[in-house]
Structure 1
């Protein structure tokens, strides 16, 4: 489903390094190496194919194989709570114990329709452009059209059509939004094409850079880090005394969560300017 989009993203970085390589042949060779079900690192996969494709830099070959051509899953301990390990990959079909079915035609694509419903359950009301920005996939207008009769629609301040599920919660605009500490690359920010609803244009690059942010009244208002047992908060603008108190209280909750029995404290820096 994501093949074409992922190939284009990798080629956007390594088009020159991968020029002249038959990507279909490269992908087939990569899947053949991984077919035994043994987890491998990117370096091990590239090493197995280096004699056949000696020209491109290993990084370019590896990212094209792992990120775009060979469907894989990262094996534990990656992804386990408080566990670390190098990235080792296994064929997704081996991990699932079954082959993946090819996508159905757009108009009769139950997976695409399910994707639209799941996205709206998490991020609605949202525009079709928000859905495309979140998943990177083309071809979803047919899936949206197929389920349109079961959706409800709204218009935002600019007149754009917003879609949502009929039974989804839509709190009153005056509902208080408590302080929240978000991890890096959180979908609350990345889930939309129009990110102005949650983050100011001046700070849009924070999410792409992997900064962890703090929401105050539902908008990005600070960044946070953990250093030497301290949750350190750096405001991006002026925080009122009440907001600083709320940030510090939520920060203490986070510090307790991260503590593992150790002593963590919270530091909220002075507002800039």
Structure 2
């Protein structure tokens, strides 16, 4: 439904590691064709989503965006009427695309004493805004363009979409999961009553006694299903989808992977986090959390070569960092 897009290249790597045949041009074509858009969604952070999903997910996220805007900029925008700000920003964007600084400067004409940064980011929170290509293309930086989503897509946002729809989509990807897991992934709160009132959901209980929910026809994978090594990008959904991240890593490993608001790139071994990686200046640095068998090292080397090829690295090399021997696997 949506992949994290705070780091521009991350969605490409996240899709590459999951799909049998995927190229950078595949996602670029979807962005140019308006089938996929980039904007603020889950947890109020940047995501890429199918246009068909954006139009109903974005309205559900408005409460989160309002809350985060108030927390970040409420104090420095006390003299700004929020409704007027939203209406004025919409008027400035009607029929055209502006960068955040351009929109900020136009809003400053109305509120010259306000914090400039707060005005630009407030508009992004208050309105359904998408960031159009070339923003979101592999390796492309620069100023962030603001376009009204309704105009870019040629259709309005859905009115009052049901939260249950979001719960079902989450469980289809990540179930079985707890209420807290769904809330962590989405940023929404007070979902317990919603999920308890969904009679079709199947219920399980984990070893700690927590209730886990799943779709009624969702199969459970056998414990001995092979899980090949995988390289996950920054902020990968598999890592951020659960409140209980011990499914993926130990508490000590989480301190290295999840630092502040950042979630660093990791690699999976047998379905759990085995270490971290970085690709810079043609060198793929692989840092295991603990010693790995030779067969796994060989598999990582092969997958790492594929990753560098996908990233367009010519004659790259792999640098193996010593294992963080103090980090256990349990």
TM-score, with structure 2 as normaliser: 0.74
- Structure 2 counterpart SS, 1:44: helix
Partners of 2:324 and 2:69 lie apart in 1 by 38
How far apart are the structure 2 equivalents of 1:232 and 1:238? Answer: 15
- Equivalent position of 1:113 in the other structure: 164
Report the counterpart of residue 49 of structure 1 in structure 2. 107
Pick from 165, 181, 187: which aligns with 2:237?
Answer: 187
C-alpha separation between the residues in 2 aligned to 1:194 and 1:56?
40
Cα offset, 1:21, TM superposition: 2.5
Aligned to 2:223: 173
Q: Comparing 162-171 with 238-247, which one deviates more in the overlay?
A: 238-247
Please tell me whether the aligned partners of residues 100 and 143 of structure 2 are also in contact (alpha carbons under 8 angstroms).
Answer: no
Matching residue of 2:89: 30
> CA separation in 2, counterparts of 1:168 and 1:38?
44
Q: Number of residue pairs matched?
A: 263
Instruction: Please list, as runs of the form range in 1=range in 2, the aligned pairs for 1:154-173 lying within 5 A after superposition.
Output: 154-173=204-223
Bigger relative contact order, structure 1 or 2 (CA pairs below 8 A, ≥6 apart): 2
* Distance in 1 between residues matched to 2:72 and 2:273, nearest whole Å: 30
Any conservation in 2 of the 1:78–1:84 contact (CA below 8 Å)? yes
* TM-score after normalising by structure 1: 0.88
What is the deviation of 1:215? 1.1
Quote the offset at 1:129 in angstroms: 1.2
Q: Look up the SS of the partner of 2:243 in the other structure.
A: coil
Tell me if 1:125 matches 2:176: yes
Determine which of 248, 265, 269 is the counterpart of 1:212: 265
What corresponds to 1:240 in structure 2?
293
Work out whether residues 244 and 268 of structure 1, in 8 Å CA contact, stay in contact via their aligned partners in 2: no
Q: 2:133: which partner in 1?
A: 76
1:49 Cα deviation (Å)?
A: 1.0
1:259 to 275, 291, 312: 312
Which structure would you say has the larger Rg? 1
Aligned to 1:47, what secondary structure does the other structure show? Answer: helix
CA distance in structure 2 between the partners assigned to 1:150 and 1:165 by the alignment: 7
Structure 2 gap ranges (5+) = 1-59, 326-330
Partner of 1:222: 275
**Gaps spanning 5+ residues in structure 1: where?**
none
How far is the alpha carbon of 1:48 from its aligned partner? 0.6
